[in-house]
Amino acid sequence: MTTLWQASQQIHSAEAHPESFTEAALSAASDINGEGKRVFLSLYAEQALLTSQQAGARWLAGKPKSAIDGLPVSIKDLFDVANEATTAGSNLLASAQPAQQNATIVNRLIQAGAAIVGKTNMTEFAYSGLGINPHYGTPANPWRRDEKRIPGGSSSGAAVAVSDGMCLAAVGTDTGGSVRIPAALCGLTGFKPSASRIDQTGTLPLSTSLDSIGVIAHDVRSCWLLDAVIADAPLTLSECDLTQARFAIPQTRVLDGLDENVSHAWMNALDRLRNAGATLVELPLEALAELESMNARGGITAYESWQWHQQGAQSNPEAYDPQVLTRLQRGSLLTDQDAEALYQQRAAWKNKVEAELTGFDGMLMPTVPRVAPTLAELDNSAVYMQINALMLRNPSIINMLDGCAISLPCHQADTAPVGLMLASTQGKDAQLLSWALTIEIILIRGN
């Protein structure tokens, strides 16, 4: 499948026109036998095609607005679009007042000439790593689609839109892994930048201390290309020599409970990196164990999300997904004093982990410990909560660290998708993506 990076290169060299990519994306989105009706909550077919046609004229004149001018991308239903209600995958906000103006990232996409094909489905209010939505349906994972496996969340529609060719890349959000989890489960690449790099104005919040805006695409260069458009400043990538790399492999929590598919792909990926000359150091990083107690009562996410949802959850609880409501209500039990203690614990924890990572080029870990379960497996509420916690466990470390991370596909062809996560501390985004480019090549060769 053509990537965003490849499409940009083809248009630049006049081998293709942007309209062809947008037409193909819209065709996939409107296929009655496809997942489009569960992927998109709003489809902007007419406007996207017009945008792409106008971009085609600019490319022919040698005056494109950006490297993605006219190319099809999608946005998660957390971002304001002027004159539309931002529903966040909920029934509660379906009749909310329309947004008065676009979110900052939407304006940046428009200024870059991107053909925004639509708003993608998601876990209600972004409060789960599974991607299930009882209101609008759950897009099925591309792997063994007939088995109806979860796409991962909360940016579920974003991942399936990319995997099924309904767009070339997608913008989502990530509070505890919401771009990396669906990327891992759907065999894609998901990049969570340092949160401060991208303006979140006009983005409906989940937990303002942990929220970030990220991207999903087929490869690292495509993530970099889209990130450059929506971020405050683009990243400059550099060549990396794996023989000079030193990566930490945390030993606390992150390797617990790996299923057979993940364990096999993980060990193979590490072998390939070692064979390419990388130094991999097993690091106890025992501070990771502290997260369990910090989040035992819902943590920062529960407290901050309850501040936003308190009125709706108390006045109209039946409008919520019961699984989401249960997690939100945990925040009602946390006082301002509890929250202050959590913020202080987090700050101390962050300093401790950053100190232990000094001298490393990043951390490596499985993005999630198991492959995508079927929707049927999650009908049981207790199983839902258990697997949701598993999916969030590793990715959420990076949000607590206020760092950056990327999930790269590391599975063999024709096997269940598995993600390898490369992560680093705050502000190391350029170095992270540079290393990811090199690692990506090694992983692809292994397939």
pLDDT in tens, 78-137: 999 999 999 999 999 999 999 999 999 999 999 999 999 999 999 999 999 999 999 999
Structure-model confidence comparison of residues 446 and 321, the more confident one: 321
Task: Give alpha helix (H) positions in 112-218.
Answer: 156-163, 180-186
Q: What span, in angstroms and rounded, lies between the C-alpha atoms of 186 and 159?
A: 7
Model pTM? 0.98
pLDDT of residue 341 exceeding 80: yes
Checking if the pLDDT of 291 tops 90, the result is: yes
Beta-bridged to residue 412, according to DSSP, are: none
Domain boundaries, the chain: 1-280+341-447
Q: Just list the catalytic residues.
A: 76, 154, 178
CATH of domain 1-280+341-447: 3.90.1300.10
Residue-wise pLDDT tens digits, 365-408: 999 999 999 999 999 999 999 999 999 999 999 999 999 999 99
115 touches 70 (CB < 8 A):
yes
pLDDT at 331 exceeding the cut of 90:
yes
3-class DSSP assignment, residue 104: helix
Tokens matching residue 137: 């349906």
Q: In what order do the strands lie in the sheet with 419-424?
A: 40-43, 115-120, 72-76, 169-173, 213-217, 189-192, 404-409, 419-424, 362-366, 246-250, 279-283
pLDDT for the residue 447: 63
At 52-69, the pLDDT tens digits run 999 999 999 999 999 999
Question: If you average pLDDT over every residue of the chain, what do you get?
Answer: 97
